[in-house]
Amino acid sequence: MRKFYLLILLLATCSLGFSQEHKADFKAAEKFKSSNIRKMLKSTRVSPRWFEDSDKFWYTYTTTSGKNFYIVDPAKKTRTLMFDNKDFAAQLSELTRKPWNFNDLDLKALELEEDNRTLTFMVDSIDYHFDLNSKVITKGDSTEKAEKRNNWATYSPDSTYISFAKNHNLYLMKADDPDSTEIQLTEDGERWFSYAWNQGDTTSDERSRARARWFEDESKMFVNRSDSRKVGELFVIDELANPRPEIEIYKYAMPGEQEVPQEQLELFDVESRERTILDIAKYKDQTISPYLAGDSSDKMFFTRMNRTSDSLDVCRVNTATGEVKTLFTDVNHPYFNWSYQQLAILNEGEELIWWSERTGWGQLYLYDGNTGALKNKITNGGHFVTGQIQQIDTVGRKVYFEARGREDNVDPYYALMYKANFDGSGFKALSTEPANHFMSMSESAKYYVDNFSAPDVVPQSYLKDNEGNVIMKLEEADMTLLNQAGFQMPERFKVKADDGITDLYGVMYKPFDFDSTRKYPVISYVYPGPQVESFGNDFSITGGYNVAMAQLGFIVVSMGHRGGSPMRDKYYHTFGYENLRDYALADDKRSLEQLAERHGWIDLDNVGIFGHSGGGFMSTAALLTYPNFYTAAASSAGNHDNNIYNKWWSETHNGVKMVEKKKKDKDGNETVETTWNAKIKTNPDLAKNLKGHLLLTHGTRDNNVHPGNSIRVASELMKAGKRFDYMPIPGSRHGYGRLRDYYEQMMWYFFAEHLLGDYRSNVDMDVPDGNE
């Protein structure tokens, strides 16, 4: 018996020693948190500023050696310094009578004039001009750049006119005379059915920015006006306002509601001052997206989508007569992928390029802009997702675009670059390095700058021709300070979804002092989508909160799941339709299990999960759905009850059904009453399942995801007699603003306590030392 007690004592002592050995490393987390680590990396991308009517461009790029200004001539295959920094700083010092840091010239309002020779910039509200040929800086005679345009003014393309709103109506005036006569174009504008962007404005006789958009030839304007007068009000309270807390009221349509915004499309003729209200009605509670047709004002286009987001018309408008013609209708069940949905207008509207998922993969199609007839599919060549159009060469009749999932053995989340002829021929891959690419192309479409990176690939920038041939390497991000600090790349991984078939991809972050002989709790950073997944595909030194979080002594992972991303095929990104609460959870759990099966250093007895907004929703749902698997969840600003989130997002991704009932009035006349059904599963319904540790936070002024979302979860948890942590973030909007750092450290303490057993008693949020 004595030996038995000695054994128990020995085991307890060993256990105590283990917990002390692996306390959270707050100092390492502090070193690599976002606000500190961002100082260690400078430029990561070349943003070309193209010369007027030329393939030449200039750009700035900063490394640990300083900021330099370059001019690139693709035809000559040269890259030269725009000027000598020391000489430039010396000239500025003489002109401004103040010192300048030649290593980091802070020049405001940089712009190359149309002469392709004069670089203008501003210092202390004074204009300066640098001649690229003579290398001489001269002080401007005036302060034209310092004369800021009024923030209420929308200038016509040639700056002849200004449009603006006042008392919710639309006005016009000459731009060259700020005291010129105001021309009132409308009289029916009112609060919540306004020509002003700020529809709820209550100020009187003050000019504000109008919703008007100018045609390129300045002869017309159009306004897409939204009538929200009958939409229900929502409010948040600014408790920190002085001297009294203030209420903020706004219109907010929720799923299934009868009264939702109604759109109206109006044309205005500048010379005659006449208005035409277009007859665009077709679908109940439809949404409209207008498009200009180039330089001409004799026509415009718009798309019209129904409330269930599965039927969409492409329409053409004769702006002289107001006639509206439906060119074609695209039907896409269960809903349109709005992330990549795009309409390109070619040759003043003679042809159109339309993106469609009709095959199950997003592709580009060419249409006749007059008749709406389908000419051909442009993106032939396999089953892949075409993303954003990068450039259209109407003279060469080519389109340059990004696509994902076409190349074998390349991560399907990486955007690679391609081109094809309008008729579907000439399909060619341009940039296929296994990374995420971004193209910036010259107007002539002869050359482009290719910026690419990946979570584990340093950002690089190349100049290439339109065949994808490398002309020169421009830049590579300077990793000197990061490497010196001990930074290490995260690791990409691939697992199977819960179905055992679908490939899922993710990113893993380890402590930089990783020891494969010890056990690490694992934390999953989540966002359910379906418009985007939680992990980025570009290089990131922070991974959001993930890099710093890992340094505490955790394995932090973030991976996709079925229903999470529009970057993959239609089946994948619509997997969660009609199941917004639950669709992502099984895949997250199964992914963590597979990682633990592969890596003995992952401790599956201590599993954390966290996320913001939709990730706040998902992390709480995971903890309550699998209470014996997840140990702790930190859920910030979660839309826990999507029945009180915005109508458009909730109805699109969870579904809404129109219900029509026939009724007779007292005279026997039959009418049809339309209602909408959009009920969504919520987290408050699962509150009774809580077993682990839950941290709920929410900004008190969140006018995106209303604080009521988290309060409803808290209410049900209290009714169920559950212990949990709830922290309102005072005065904060959806992203927490200046209190984001506070929340980050709050999570550190939360997970350290509940996953490592490391409880700290300090009150100040300063990083505690290891012996506390």
pLDDT in tens, 579-595: 999 999 999 999 999 99
Spatial separation of the C-alpha atoms in residues 411 and 552, rounded to whole Å: 30
* Predicted confidence (pLDDT) per residue in 50-106, tens digit: 999 999 999 999 999 999 999 999 999 999 999 999 999 999 999 999 999 999 999
Note whether 620 and 580 are within 8 A (CB).
Answer: no
Spatial separation of the C-alpha atoms in residues 759 and 772, rounded to whole Å: 9
Instruction: Give the dihedral of Cα atoms 342, 346, 350, 356; nearest 10 deg.
Output: -20
Sheet holding 126-131, edge to edge: 108-112, 118-123, 126-131, 137-139
Determine the average pLDDT of the residues in 267-272. Answer: 96
* Predicted confidence (pLDDT) per residue in 483-508, tens digit: 999 999 999 999 999 999 999 999 99
Note whether 300 and 322 are within 8 A (CB).
Answer: no
Closest CA to 592 of 616, 627, 559: 559
- The band of 16, judged by pLDDT with boundaries at 50, 70 and 90, is very low
Indicate the residue type of 198: N
Judge whether residue 398 has pLDDT over 80. Answer: yes
Task: Check residue 371 and give its pLDDT.
Answer: 98
Neighbours of 436 (CB within 10 A): 23
Spatial separation of the C-alpha atoms in residues 263 and 593, rounded to whole Å: 49
Determine the average pLDDT of the residues in 5-11. Answer: 45
Judge whether residue 207 has pLDDT over 50. Answer: yes
Task: Check residue 769 and give its pLDDT.
Answer: 64
* Predicted confidence (pLDDT) per residue in 260-269, tens digit: 999 999 999 9
Judge whether residue 5 has pLDDT over 60. Answer: no
Angle at alpha carbon of residue 508, lines to 503 and 509, rounded to 5°: 170
Neighbours of 310 (CB within 10 A): 16
Task: Check residue 558 and give its pLDDT.
Answer: 98
Closest CA to 221 of 148, 281, 273: 273
Task: Check residue 635 and give its pLDDT.
Answer: 98
Which residues make Cβ contacts (< 8 Å) with residue 180, sequence separation at least 6?
A: 173, 174
Determine the average pLDDT of the residues in 287-298. Answer: 94
What string of DSSP letters covers 455-502?
TTEEEEEEEEETT--EEEEEEE---HHHHHHT----EEEEEE-TTSSS
Task: Check residue 13 and give its pLDDT.
Answer: 43
Note whether 595 and 602 are within 8 A (CB).
Answer: yes
Q: For the whole model, what pTM was predicted? A: 0.93
Judge whether residue 406 has pLDDT over 50. Answer: yes
Determine the average pLDDT of the residues in 391-408. Answer: 96
Determine the average pLDDT of the residues in 122-145. Answer: 86
Determine the average pLDDT of the residues in 216-237. Answer: 96
User: Between 709 and 678, whose confidence is greater?
Assistant: 709
Note whether 253 and 262 are within 8 A (CB).
Answer: no
- The band of 7, judged by pLDDT with boundaries at 50, 70 and 90, is very low
Proportion of the chain above pLDDT 70, given as a percent: 96
The CATH classification number of 490-641+682-756 equals 3.40.50.1820
Which residues make Cβ contacts (< 8 Å) with residue 357, sequence separation at least 6?
A: 332, 336, 337, 363, 570
User: Between 178 and 195, whose confidence is greater?
Assistant: 195
Lowest mean pLDDT among 99-108, 175-184, 200-209, 565-574: 175-184
Residue with tokens 């529009």: 566
Q: Where are the domains of the chain?
A: 49-139, 490-641+682-756
Spatial separation of the C-alpha atoms in residues 626 and 633, rounded to whole Å: 12
Note whether 511 and 28 are within 8 A (CB).
Answer: yes
Judge whether residue 571 has pLDDT over 80. Answer: yes
Judge whether residue 386 has pLDDT over 90. Answer: yes
Spatial separation of the C-alpha atoms in residues 558 and 516, rounded to whole Å: 20
Task: Check residue 342 and give its pLDDT.
Answer: 94
Neighbours of 449 (CB within 10 A): 24
Judge whether residue 126 has pLDDT over 80. Answer: yes
What Rg value do the Cα atoms of the chain yield, rounded? 29
